[in-house]
Amino acid sequence: MASVRELIALECTECKRRNYTSTKNRKKAQEKLSLKKYCPYDRKHTVHKESKIK
């Protein structure tokens, strides 16, 4: 049976670095995930958007 959960990376919108990884349910959340998380490179909380893991 195939897994419904998909592995994603969270990319900072300011420095464009991928700081976090997470999973999301493909059936329940089709839109891109956007979370406010801490960016250690900018040393502040910024918006992180979903991007694919290569």
Give tens-digit pLDDT for 1-54: 678 899 999 999 999 999 999 999 989 999 999 999 999 999 999 999 999 997
- Name the burial class of residue 45, with classes exposed (0-12), middle (13-18) and buried (19+) by CB atoms within 10 angstroms of its CB: exposed
- What is the reported pLDDT for 1? 61
Look up the pTM and report it.
0.85
Tell me the β-bridge partners of 24.
Answer: 6
Q: Kindly report the CATH number that applies to the domain delimited by 5-52.
A: 2.20.28.120
- What is the reported pLDDT for 11? 98
Q: What's at 46, amino acid-wise?
A: T
Closest by CA to 51, choosing from 15, 22, 14, is 22
Q: Where are the domains of the chain?
A: 5-52
CB atoms within 10 A of CB 28: 7
- What is the reported pLDDT for 3? 82
